[in-house]
């Protein structure tokens, strides 16, 4: 895999990103790339700057320095919805669905950018409005079937079990028709069955050619699905490489388990 990814084309590149909140350095000089079709895991202990990195990439946060490039174009000064328009969609750690709306309507909202009707079509109920709506509805059905919650489409999103809500969160991101997905801790809080289901979905997305960057706490999950792993600690990248290499990396072990653990491991 390593040789493959070197030849592959980088789609997302993080170049010298730094984020300071006042005096606090959340991220300092972060550099990494994600290649076409790759699944990259971004890991690190709590507070390492993973979610901050996500927010910078998707335009929710302006970096203090550096820039993010996606498929050759700079994301500098783009608003989040403009970043999404370029094909870069994300999910959120917690509130990732519109709680008081039905599952189906959630996905319909997600399909916003694919709608073709203009204001006049809507106000005058022109044929294009109906046509666009029925296309969106068909597409929403497909997406729900893809993530496997089509039978719940009439239920309120907020009443779904936790795992299904996370799947719906992914469905929402997929509805924006992304070429790359950023998943923020997608399996945190899921039980084993739900996690397995989610892993299968990730596999399917990868086969569809969607590039994935994944922030995750759960080590076995990350190790299992990622082609490559980037490890962050205190806002710096401390290691990068295929899962097997990361697992044995002393820096990583120290970051996760603390100084003492490393000494004990050496002794």
Partner 1 sequence: MKRFLPWIALLALASVPMWLRDPYLLNAFITTGIFIVAAMSLNLLLGYTGQLSLGHVAFFGIGAYTSALVSLGFDVELIGGFRVVHEPWPVWLGFFLAILVSGLCGYIVGKLSFRVRGAYFVIVTISFAEVVRLVALNWVELTQGPLALTSIPPITLGLPGLGYFDFFSKQSNFYLVLGVVALSYVIIGRLVNSRIGRAMVALKENESLAVSVGIDVTRYLVLAAVVSAGIAGAAGSLYAHYLKIIDPDVFLFLYTVTMVIMVITGGKGTLAGPIVGGLIFGFIPVVARSFASPELQWILYGWFMILIVFVLPQGIVPAIEKWFGVGEEARGPGGTEPKMQETH
Residues that bind partner 1 (CB under 8 A): 58, 60, 79-81, 84-85, 89-90, 92, 95-102, 104-105, 108-110, 112-113, 115, 117, 119, 122-123, 125, 129, 132-134, 136-138, 140-142, 144-145, 150, 153-154, 156, 172-173, 175-176
Dist. CA 176–CA 163, nearest whole Å: 21
Max Cα-Cα span within the chain:
77
Please calculate the CA angle 186-188-243 and round it to the nearest 5 degrees.
75
The closest of 148, 160, 162 to 102, measured between CA atoms, is 160
Q: Which of 56, 190, 250 is nearest to 261 (CA)?
A: 250
Q: Residue 240's closest CA among 231, 248, 249?
A: 231
Report the C-alpha gap between 202 and 40 in whole angstroms: 12
């Amino acid at each position: 895999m390593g040789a493959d990814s070197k030849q592959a084309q980088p789609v997302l590149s993080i170049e010298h990103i730094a984020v300071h909140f006042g005096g606090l350095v959340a991220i300092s000089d972060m550099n990494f790339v994600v290649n076409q079709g790759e699944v990259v895991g971004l890991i690190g202990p709590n507070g390492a700057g993973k979610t901050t990195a996500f927010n910078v990439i998707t335009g929710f946060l302006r970096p203090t320095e550096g820039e993010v490039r996606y498929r050759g174009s700079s994301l500098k000064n783009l608003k989040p919805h403009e970043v999404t328009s370029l094909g870069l969609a994300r999910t959120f750690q917690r509130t990732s669905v519109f709680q008081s709306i039905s599952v189906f309507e959630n996905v319909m909202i997600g399909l916003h950018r694919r709608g073709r009707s203009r204001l006049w079509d809507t106000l005058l109920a022109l044929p294009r409005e109906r046509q666009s709506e029925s296309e969106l509805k068909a597409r929403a059905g497909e997406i729900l079937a893809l993530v496997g919650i089509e039978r719940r489409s009439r239920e309120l999103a907020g009443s779904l079990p936790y795992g299904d809500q996370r799947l719906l969160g992914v469905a929402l991101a997929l509805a924006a028709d992304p070429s790359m997905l950023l998943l923020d801790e997608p399996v945190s809080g899921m039980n084993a069955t739900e996690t397995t289901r989610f892993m299968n979905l990730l596999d399917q997305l990868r086969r569809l050619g969607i590039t994935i960057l994944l922030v995750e706490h759960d080590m076995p999950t990350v190790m299992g699905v990622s082609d490559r792993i980037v490890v962050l600690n205190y806002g710096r990248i401390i290691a990068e490489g295929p899962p097997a290499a990361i697992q044995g990396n002393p820096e990583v072990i120290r970051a996760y388990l603390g100084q003492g653990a490393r000494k004990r491991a050496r002794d």
